Amino acid sequence: MDVDYIACPICHVGRLQEREVKYSQVFEGQMVVIDHVPAMVCDVCGERILDSDVLARLSGLLGTDQRDRHPLVPRI
């Protein structure tokens, strides 16, 4: 059995795998896109999950508080 296997909490079928994704958010009326953000991505449904440390760093860059948000990032 693969000890690194993490089942997707959304579809319960796929495996989460480490990837780099684009993170996008509207900030002060402008769309901000940040490339090469580490995330866990489901190989079946494509759901992206960001670590709380990554969200904290992004909130520092954008000047927003993301710590109270759920770590799931909507797909665009």
Q: Would you mind telling me the total number of residues written for the chain in this entry? A: 76
Residue boundaries of the structural domains of the chain: 16-73
pLDDT above 70 coverage of the chain, percent: 78
DSSP 11-45: TSSSBEEEEEEEEEEEETTEEEEEEEEEEEEETTT
What's the CA gap between 48 and 31, in Å, rounded? 19
pLDDT band of 2, cuts 50, 70, 90: low
Q: What's the pLDDT at 63?
A: 74
Rg (CA), the chain: 13
- Average of per-residue pLDDT across 58-64: 77
Against a cut of 0.75, is the pTM above it? Answer: no
Q: What's the pLDDT at 70?
A: 45
Q: Would you state the structure tokens that stand for residue 64, as one six-digit string?
A: 């927003």
